[in-house]
Structure 1
Amino acid sequence: MKIVLRLSFFILFLLITSCSSSKKINTDKNIDFTIAFGSCNKQNIKNKLWKEVKKNNPNLWIWGGDNIYSDTDNMEVLKNDYKTLKKQKGYLNLVKDIHVMATWDDHDYGINDGGIEFHKKDEAQQIFLDFFNVDKNSPRRKQKGVYQSKVFKTNKGSIKVFVLDTRYFKTALTNDTESTKRYKPNPYGKGSILGKTQWNWLTNELNNSKADFNIIVSSIQILSGEHGFETWANFPHEIDKLKNTIINNKAKGTLLLSGDRHISEFSKIKFKNLSYPLIDFTSSGLTHSYTEYRM
């Protein structure tokens, strides 16, 4: 099962992050469950990848954030930007018969690099839930933040997907005034990405997980921290907390998915006391890419 699932993730990752119209279509009948994921989608630009994703017949589509670009505290503008996305036939054809999970990042949250301080976050959350057709009576309507989890059972095992909210509770970043980088790590122990309530939720959910694979989705990168943009590395104690949470709860087959950067990237780290390497797959962007990257 592990080989088959990993192959599925690998195929979809390469497909979604390709900037050209590609290529390899998933026709392997041994693949039991296919997950497609991506982020950074400008609603006013034609997305050429929807058809390619559809060809792979995914069972689940995961939005990794920046699902639209709005950057506004005007909720009417935010609603209209979501309406623009909802009119795209390619997207509608993709998701009409499959499950969709989603988080947001800064541009659909409402403010660039924003976090806990955003004064319209509760209103923006309700519009987010409206777009994803969340029932008006759902507990998620009263929850602070858009995090969620869901178990998918397949003939060859189960997969639990945890979608994190790295915006609603995120505290201030530290500007880097000593280099060309935008941010530098906070002093160890200062600040949080997930906040106490979401951390408690994630810890309990991992502790109770019996899944063969556990997939954690973050709108910003978790393991890649050298670039100086937003990343979990701005809060080094939060990376340690996530590592210890995975180890202490003996979560099997944990895989990280992320977005934000407008590039494709694999990041890997081996932690002591974790029997497998932790890998962060970054898939971004769906409609545009970062062209100034240098090694």
Structure 2
Amino acid sequence: MDDERDRLLASIERWIPSAEVDRRGFLKAIGKGALLALVWTITNPLSGTRIEAAPRYLSHPFRLGVASGDPLSDGCILWTRLATDSLKGGVMATYDLPVRWEVAHDEHFRSVVRSGAATAQAKLGHSVHVDVRGLKPGREYFYRFKSGSDISAVGRTKTTPLKGSSISDMSLAFASCQQYEHGYYTAYRHMAQEDLDVVFHLGDYIYEYGAGKYVANSGNVRRHESQEVKSLSEYRNRYAQYRKDPDLQAAHAAFPWIAVWDDHEVDNNYAGSHPEKNQSPTAFLRRKAAAYQAYYEYMPMRLSLLPHGPQMRIYRRFTYGNLAEFNMLDTRQYRDDQVNGTKWNRISEEASDSHRTMLGKAQENWLVKGLYQSKAHWNVLAQQVFFSRLDHRDGQSHMRNMDAWDGYTASQKRLLKHFAELKDANPIILTGDVHSNWACDLKADFNNPGSPVVGSEFVGTSITSEGDGFDIKPHFSRELSQNDHVHFFNGQRGYVRCHITPKNWRTDYRILPYVSKPGAPIVTRETFVVENGRPGIQRG
């Protein structure tokens, strides 16, 4: 494992310019007041790097909070990052720093069940990813970290039930699109008060834009600290700015998260190796490598997901007993470039080309194999962009979103065919990206109005992106009438909560009246139910 880690870290250094790791960090850290004293250092025999043996900090090093994620039946990942000055490129010194961690049955740590030592590596921005094992399935735990004399906030996490075991229910929430400038993270404060087993984040955790470059409908109420981010230190700073938000920290500390990215973690509307505009292929690969490393550093993910330069496999699978299996997809890294631009355009033969792909061959094969092998009551695709057919008629022309699955119709049709064949799979798709709420039936053939329903898609709105929203507008009423498989639209901010039993899947759309100022109340705008063995959405 250590050899593999060092090999991967070496590969990152090949893609990220070494100057960005701040090799003069010792004296610079002292000058910036990051550490009161570096009393003595030793050489880590496992990695060959120097490690500070007894750090003393002038200010609290856990200011970016704690998180857990990627839960299994016997453990999970515990995350934190040491940062006394979070907007200084993410590295306090060139030295690694020691961290202790504890896991307990109770939040006062009277019953500690696991503990140990970890290293906050300078190469990874002094982030910490502890892979805790030996825990019991389906159990709540509490955790915390210590470095020097400083102790972190307490986090709560929960392991998954044993695969195949019978469980009566589970609850989850999913969210996406949290443009910092567009509003306050009040939705996360409400989410932290829910009774959930897990949170899924479906992308656009950060936005790469420069300060004031993307203005919300209701105006920007906060400000990015820099211009558009492209380097590792800039991506680190952007994540740090978002993670300083206390409401986001509260939601991370309350539940384990399972995350996948969309486009803004790198560059708006990028597709595979194709940037949005005005970037050379080499420059964009370096940008992807920096963005992927920063993403890993800030997410509670396993070492096996550590990026290899501009490549990082994030598609993976999580199972909750025999109740539900969740396939976390990546619709950005392996897709072909968009046809006719990235937004609404007329249907073309090129968009329907059978050789074009949204997922890439390897990921699609992995997904399909898993669907056919699954024994779960519910089989979930947690992913980024709108899957269902969505026609926008401009006169006699049919317009579709070329950045969504409608721009990759061969991939879309293949999955619908599998859904139709898997009679007992109960496929559910969870989607982010579009800053609005939708509830859709999945048709075996969207071109045939009489085609049977084979699954359901629940699309969640943004946490903040686009600012204060709206309930519904007249032109959306027209679109609903033009797409009879679409049952619901809402354009306000919030998140989606789901409660699952062997008999029913219930989805609650939780919405806020505003995000342009703190303190908004939250209500359930609409509830939908899907019955096991009966595809199609019903109002709850």
Give the TM bin, normalised by the shorter chain. 0.7 to 0.9
* Within-5 A mapping of 1:1-295: 32-44=169-181, 45-70=183-208, 72-108=229-265, 110-117=266-273, 118=275, 119=285, 120-136=287-303, 138=304, 141=307, 144-153=312-321, 157-175=322-340, 181-182=344-345, 184=347, 186-227=351-392, 228-229=400-401, 230-248=403-421, 252-271=425-444, 277-289=454-466, 294-295=475-476
For residue 318 of structure 2, what is the amino acid of its counterpart?
Answer: K
Change (3 A) 1:80 1:184: farther
Question: Higher relative CO (CA 8 A, sep ≥ 6), structure 1 or 2?
Answer: 1
What is the identity percentage for the equivalent residue pairs of Structure 1 and Structure 2? 21
> Structure 1 residues 251, 127: CA separation in 2 closer, same or farther (over 3 Å shift)?
farther
Cα-to-partner distance string for 1:99-148 (whole Å, 9 max, x where unaligned): 2111111111x121111115233442232222113233x25646743211
The amino acid across from 1:36 in the alignment is A
Instruction: Give the secondary structure class of the aligned counterpart of 2:173.
Output: strand
Given residue 266 of structure 1, which amino acid in structure 2 is its aligned partner? A
Deviation at 1:164? 0.5
What is the distance in 2 between the residues matched to 1:33 and 1:128?
A: 28
* Greater Cα shift, 74-83 or 193-202: 74-83
Bigger proportion of residues as strand: 2
Q: Which amino acid aligns with 1:260?
A: D
Which amino acid is 2:199 matched to?
W
Unaligned runs of 5+ in 1: 1-29
- How big is each residue's C-alpha offset from its partner over 1:145-183, in whole Å with a ceiling of 9 and x where there is no partner? 321110123xxx421111110100111111169xx9346
Shift of 1:62: 0.6
Rounded to whole Å, the distance in 1 between the matches of 2:317 and 2:382 is 10
When the two chains are superposed, the root-mean-square deviation of aligned CA atoms in Å is 2.8
How far, CA to CA, are the matches of 2:302 and 2:264 in structure 1? 24
The 1-side partners of 2:320 and 2:252 are apart by 17
Corresponding residue of 2:484 = none
- In structure 2, what is the Cα distance between the partners aligned to 1:242 and 1:257? 15
- d(CA) in 2 for partners of 1:246, 1:91: 35
Judge conservation of contact 1:176–1:183 (CA < 8 Å) in 2: no
Contact 1:140 1:146 (8 Å CA) reproduced: no
CA distances 1:230-285 after superposition (whole Å, capped 9, x unpaired): 2101011111111233344556221001111111111213327x986421111121
Preserved contact between residue 336 and residue 358 of structure 2 (Cα < 8 Å): yes
- Paired residue secondary structure (2:352): coil
Task: Mark the structure with the bigger radius of gyration.
Answer: 2
Deviation string, structure 1 residues 193-237 (Cα, Å, up to 9, x no partner): 100111121122222211111110121010043253321010111
CA contact (8 A) 1:225 1:231 kept: no
The farther-off stretch of 115-124 and 262-271 is 115-124
Compared CA separation, residues 122 and 244, structure 1 to 2 (3 A)? farther
- Equivalent pairs counted in the alignment come to 258
Following the alignment from structure 1 to structure 2, what is the Cα–Cα distance between the partners of residues 51 and 121? Answer: 31
> For the residues of structure 1 that align with 2:238 and 2:187, how far apart are their CA atoms?
20
Closer/same/farther in 2, CA of residues 135 and 64 from structure 1, 3 Å limit: closer
**Could you tell me how far apart the structure 2 residues matched to 1:107 and 1:82 are?**
12
| Structure 2 residue identity aligned to 1:130 | E
User: What is the SS of the residue equivalent to 1:92?
Assistant: helix
Greater percentage in helix: 1
- Long gaps (5+) in structure 2: 1-166, 210-228, 276-284, 393-399, 446-450, 477-540
- Could you tell me the TM-score, scaled by structure 2's length? 0.44
Equivalent residue letter for 1:181: W
Per-residue CA deviations over 1:80-99 (Å, capped at 9, x if unaligned) read 11112222221222222422
